[in-house]
Amino acid sequence: MAELTFIDLFSGAGGLALGFEQAGFKSVWAVEIDSDAADTYELNFGHPVFKGPIEKVESLPVRADIIIGGPPCQGFSPLGKMSPRDEHAEMNQLWRQYLRIVDMCEPMAFVVENVPEFLRSAEGARLIALGEERGYSVTHDVLDASKYGVPQKRRRGIIIATRKGRPQLPSPNGTWATVRDAIGDLPLQPTEHDWHIGRNPRPESLLRYRLVPPGGNRFDLTRTEEGRALAPRCWIEKVTGSTDVFGRLEWDKPALTIRTEFFKPEKGRYLHPQADRPITHREAMRLQTFPDSFQWVGSRISVARQVGNAVPPELARHIALEVRRILGDS
């Protein structure tokens, strides 16, 4: 089968694209508004990226067989719902810009990645309906990355639309990858190079880290007199809530969702399984299934954002293989 090409919209650093290239597709163009993420994409995929709002794309420099991408989804995610409704209203309409590019390109297929909530929203239903009106067969579902060889529980809404054939979502491959599989060979202490970099915690923070057992969380701090002396008052007073805050990963299970502030244990289950510290950038990249050879552009905070926002390449690869099968059969 000849090499199939794709255009990547809202590309980020290129997690979705990397998985598609690993499955035999070729990236030929991309659109990304974040300059660091766009630079990362250019560095790894070897072609220019349109750096700016997708609304400013007036024509396509190339044609492609398929279009992939993940329109911003903050307004649909549980985290986004904590923000004022109007703040994300315009962003929630960016899927229409995605479809505008589909109309310009008329690809054989398109793939949309988003939060699970998007599939249950009126906007998601409208995108699917408009795809069908354009002659595409459309399928959609929520996939858990941990069922596709990704050492991380990460649920994503996936839409596959094809002009020919009947699209299906990839079946779980039965491979269960763990935190140990992903990062067990890395030094316990950060090396300050090759993105295996850590923070310099305050003595108080270091004491807190040491009191969290494997698989534990912030509630473990409030169970001893020593821990209560170190815990913020709000943790002591709030006896219910997330069990992931200040949580420690477990070696022989997948990680939970790696988000953009994985270097802050107060944001989730981001303490190393054994060392008394948050996970490093390299460890987060591994848990997202980025190879060590993938190159990054930007500050530590910028790269963390790129990593946390990315689609795990291994999940993307399974989606891409299914798309390739459909197109090959048709």
User: Would residue 73 show up in a list of annotated catalytic residues for this protein?
Assistant: yes
Work out the end-to-end distance of the chain between its first and last CA atoms, rounded to an integer number of angstroms. 12
C-alpha distances out from residue 121 to 76, 85, 92, 223, 282, Å = 8, 15, 11, 41, 35
Half-sphere exposure of 318 (CA within 13 A, CB side): 22
Based on C-alpha coordinates, what's the Rg of the chain? Answer: 21
- Helices 94-105/122-133 angle, 10° precision: 10
Given the residues 37, 68, 73, 258, the one annotated as active site: 73
Which long-range contacts link 41-45 to residues 24+ away (Cβ below 8 Å)?
Answer: 41/8, 41/11, 41/12, 41/13, 41/14, 41/17, 43/295, 43/297, 44/13, 44/14, 44/18, 44/294, 44/295, 45/14, 45/17, 45/21
* Catalytic residue ranges: 73
